[in-house]
């Protein structure tokens, strides 16, 4: 089943959180000269047109990136992420939103590498053509979870693995944990960043319990909620679970999340959280 299209949601509060964390991890990896691999298991289309029918229909980006991208007093932690958004919109109109592969493309250096997988028959060709001239990138139409076995460890022995499935099938909540365990067996020093939606809190609690059971250590949880938890339909919060986070990430997110929450949820409901699921 591949009915999910990210174009309906591009630039929403969940993307703002995900791409802030992604860009801070990439910036930290760049502090060493040694190359690294950026592996994106569920890459999406790469670029999203915000005045498309899909994006306009939900208008989610209006309560996400549109609220912060042109502000002048933004916290320093947002600089790499917002620069990627601004560079894609040089006219000053918010026309395009960069998905995770384009944020990575913007931030990676000449000697780093990108490995991107996307299964959707419409999004895959868009992603492939976006990277046609980028010699650092390999784009494949294959199952993202398989890549965690096939592409790890990277030759450089350094890397960020972003796992961002649509969770349209319930088994994704287990598949992500199995996938991480497989990846970690092969590449235990890599940074793994898993995105999750909070629709039913119980599902996330179960997923986290299963992740703890793997025995993996150094697991940081980062969350931004725009509403209180609920048993009704719809996403109330989203988060990132980061394994082997760069040492500054905890402090960076503790410092930037209250500001982000204030901008994205001016009504003041919901919450933010930065907490170790499993410490050192």
Residue positions forming the annotated binding site for S-adenosyl-L-methionine: 19, 42, 100, 118, 143-144, 164
Q: How many residues comprise the chain?
A: 280
Among the listed ranges 77-85, 139-147, 208-216, 257-265, the one in contact with ligand SAM (CB under 6 A) is 139-147
Out of 164, 213, 229, 231, pick the active-site residue. Answer: 164
Q: Choose, by CB under 6 A, the member of 7, 16, 36, 42 that binds ligand SAM.
A: 42
Is residue 236 a contact partner of residue 13, using CB atoms and an 8 Å limit?
A: no
The residues near 220 (Cβ < 8 Å, ≥ 6 apart) are 241, 242, 243, 245, 249, 250, 274, 275, 276, 277
Q: How many residues bind ligand SAM (CB under 6 A)?
A: 20
Structure tokens at 76: 């320093």
Task: For the CB of residue 64, give the shortest distance to ligand SAM in the complex, in Å.
Answer: 12
Torsion of CA 45, 49, 53, 57, to 10 degrees: 90
Q: Choose, by CB under 6 A, the member of 100, 113, 252, 272 that binds ligand SAM.
A: 100
Q: Choose, by CB under 6 A, the member of 16, 39, 43, 176 that binds ligand SAM.
A: 43
In order, the DSSP letters of 55-66 are: HHHH-GGGGTGG
164 a catalytic residue? yes
- The H or E element containing residue 199 is none
The residues near 211 (Cβ < 8 Å, ≥ 6 apart) are 177, 180, 219, 241, 277
For ligand SAM, give the closer residue by CB, 89 or 215: 89
Q: Which residue is nearest to ligand SAM (CB)?
A: 99
Is residue 179 a contact partner of residue 41, using CB atoms and an 8 Å limit?
A: yes
130 binds ligand SAM (CB under 6 A): no
Site string for ligand SAM, 155-194 (x = CB under 6 A): ---------xxx----------------------------
d(C-alpha 171, C-alpha 274), whole Å: 26
Task: For the CB of residue 279, give the shortest distance to ligand SAM in the complex, in Å.
Answer: 28
35 binds ligand SAM (CB under 6 A): no
Which residues are catalytic, by number? 164
Q: What residue ranges bind ligand SAM (CB under 6 A)? A: 2, 4, 6, 18, 42-44, 99-100, 117-120, 123, 143-145, 164-166
């Amino acid at each position: 089943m591949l009915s999910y299209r990210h174009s309906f949601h591009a630039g929403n509060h969940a993307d703002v959180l995900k791409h802030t964390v992604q860009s801070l991890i990439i910036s930290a990896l760049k502090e060493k000269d040694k190359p690294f691999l950026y592996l994106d298991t569920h890459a999406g289309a790469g670029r999203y047109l915000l005045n498309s029918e899909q994006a306009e229909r939900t208008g989610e980006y209006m309560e996400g990136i549109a609220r912060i991208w042109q502000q002048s007093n933004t916290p320093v932690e947002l600089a790499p992420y917002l620069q990627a958004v601004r560079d894609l919109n040089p006219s000053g109109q918010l026309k395009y939103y960069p998905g995770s592969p384009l944020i990575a493309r913007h931030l990676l250096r000449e000697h780093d590498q990108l490995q991107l997988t996307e299964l959707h028959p419409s999004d895959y060709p868009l992603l492939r053509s976006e990277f046609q001239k980028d010699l650092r990138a390999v784009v494949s139409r294959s199952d993202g979870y398989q890549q965690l076995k096939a592409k790890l460890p990277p030759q450089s022995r350094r890397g960020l693995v972003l796992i961002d499935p649509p969770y349209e099938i319930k088994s994704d909540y287990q598949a992500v944990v199995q996938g991480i365990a497989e990846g970690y067996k092969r590449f235990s020093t890599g940074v793994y960043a898993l995105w999750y939606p909070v629709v039913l809190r119980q599902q996330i609690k179960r997923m986290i319990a299963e992740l703890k059971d793997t025995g993996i250590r150094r697991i940081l949880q980062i969350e931004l909620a725009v509403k209180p938890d609920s048993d009704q339909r719809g996403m109330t919060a989203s988060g990132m679970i980061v394994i082997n986070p760069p040492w500054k990430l905890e402090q960076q997110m503790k410092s930037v999340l209250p500001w982000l929450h204030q901008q994205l949820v001016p009504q003041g409901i919901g919450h933010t959280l930065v907490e170790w699921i499993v410490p050192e």
